[in-house]
């Protein structure tokens, strides 16, 4: 089975995005493209996303607000019918997640709603600074259970929690960011993992950014394929 890979397109430069898409073509992997707030908020970003109708597009907007606002925001994306994934923060609560899923069902039935748990930039000490008293694993488990109850399509968590979440969220997608090719530096991430280890831990898909987009993209794709064999 082909592995599902999402390339993080963290730039506002459309020429760079076009290069990433062009140079990452391969028949050995399922490739999707993740666009975050940086690109979505850029002057030409949203209109460009409307042109990617033959690509797997992930809107990594990480919505978190009162249920009505999140619902209205998803309805406002109705022109992007080819988008296949959208992220919301699981910490927004059960009712917010339910509202998001209901809005997606009405607006774009092919849009999968993914619940983001604890960001991979958080360490145990950093999460305590925000007022949490539980360990990251326990927070992720609790949020994943809520996301499942809300009827979401998938969970975003680090590869370190994927094995735990797989047992809880059977049938849901488990996508792990914080992925680095063997030998790459962590940079601003804390809870990182190699592609193969993430899949071994139960991930159904991974997010990989700078390990692919920095330097020679074609060569980096080959390194990724080799690391998965």
Share of the chain above pLDDT 70, in %: 96
pLDDT band at 186 (very low <50, low <70, confident <90, very high): low
Task: Indicate if the alpha-carbon torsion angle 90, 91, 92, 98 is positive or negative.
Answer: positive
Whether the pLDDT of residue 160 is over 80: the answer is: yes
Give the number of other Cβ atoms within 10 Å of residue 189's Cβ.
Answer: 20
Q: ∠210-50-9 over CA atoms, to 5°? A: 5
Q: ∠147-150-152 over CA atoms, to 5°? A: 60
Indicate the average pLDDT of the chain: 93
Residues 6+ apart with CB under 8 A from 63: 70, 73, 74, 86, 87, 88, 89, 92, 100
Are 159 and 198 contacting, i.e. CB atoms less than 8 angstroms apart? Answer: yes
Least confident of 102-106, 169-173, 190-194: 190-194
Q: Encoding tokens for residue 169?
A: 């969220």
Three-state secondary structure readout of the chain? CCEEEEEECCCCCHHHHHHHHHHCCCCCEEEEEEECHHHHCCCCHHHHHCCCCCCEEEEEEEECCCHHHHHHHHHCCCCCCCEEEEEEEHHHCHHHHHHHHHHHHHHCCCCEEEEECCCCCCCHHHHHHCCCCCCHHHHHHHHHHHHHHCCCCEEECCHHHHHHHHHHCCCCEEEECCECCCCCCCCCCCCCECHHHHHHCCCCEEEECHHHHCCCHHHHHHHHHHHHC
Give the number of other Cβ atoms within 10 Å of residue 219's Cβ.
Answer: 11
Whether the pLDDT of residue 193 is over 90: the answer is: no
Whether the pLDDT of residue 173 is over 90: the answer is: yes
Query: What per-residue confidence (pLDDT) applies to 190?
Result: 61
Task: Indicate if the alpha-carbon torsion angle 48, 172, 222, 194 is positive or negative.
Answer: positive
**Which residues are the active-site residues?**
62
pLDDT digits (tens, 9 = 90+) for 128-157: 999 999 999 999 999 999 999 999 999 999
Query: What per-residue confidence (pLDDT) applies to 178?
Result: 86
Are 56 and 82 contacting, i.e. CB atoms less than 8 angstroms apart? Answer: no
Query: What per-residue confidence (pLDDT) applies to 191?
Result: 65
Parallel, antiparallel or unpaired: strands 205-208 and 173-176: parallel
Query: What per-residue confidence (pLDDT) applies to 189?
Result: 56
Mean pLDDT value across residues 115-139: 92
pLDDT band at 188 (very low <50, low <70, confident <90, very high): low
How far is residue 179's CA from residue 115's CA, in Å, rounded to a whole number?
A: 18
Domains of the chain: 3-228 (3.20.20.70)
């Amino acid at each position: 089975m082909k592995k599902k890979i999402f390339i993080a397109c963290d730039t506002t430069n459309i020429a760079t995005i076009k290069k990433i898409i062009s140079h990452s073509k391969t028949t050995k992997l399922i490739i999707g493209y993740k666009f975050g707030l940086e690109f979505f908020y850029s002057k030409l970003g949203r209109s460009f996303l409307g042109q990617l109708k033959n690509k797997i597009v992930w809107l990594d907007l990480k919505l978190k607000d009162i249920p009505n606002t999140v619902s209205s925001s998803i309805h406002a994306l109705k022109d992007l019918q080819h988008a296949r994934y959208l992220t919301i923060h699981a910490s927004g609560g059960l009712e917010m997640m339910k509202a998001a899923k209901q809005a997606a069902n009405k607006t774009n039935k092919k849009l999968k709603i993914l619940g983001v748990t604890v960001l991979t930039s958080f360490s145990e000490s950093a999460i305590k600074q925000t007022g949490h008293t539980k360990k990251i694993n326990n927070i992720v488990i609790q949020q994943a259970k809520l996301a499942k109850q809300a009827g979401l399509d998938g969970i975003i968590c680090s590869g370190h929690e994927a094995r735990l979440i797989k047992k809880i969220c059977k049938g849901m997608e488990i996508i792990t960011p914080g992925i680095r090719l063997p030998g790459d530096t962590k940079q601003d991430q804390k809870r990182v993992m190699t592609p193969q280890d993430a899949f071994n831990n139960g991930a159904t898909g991974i997010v990989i950014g700078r390990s692919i987009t920095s330097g020679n993209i074609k060569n980096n794709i080959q390194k990724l394929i080799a690391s998965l064999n």
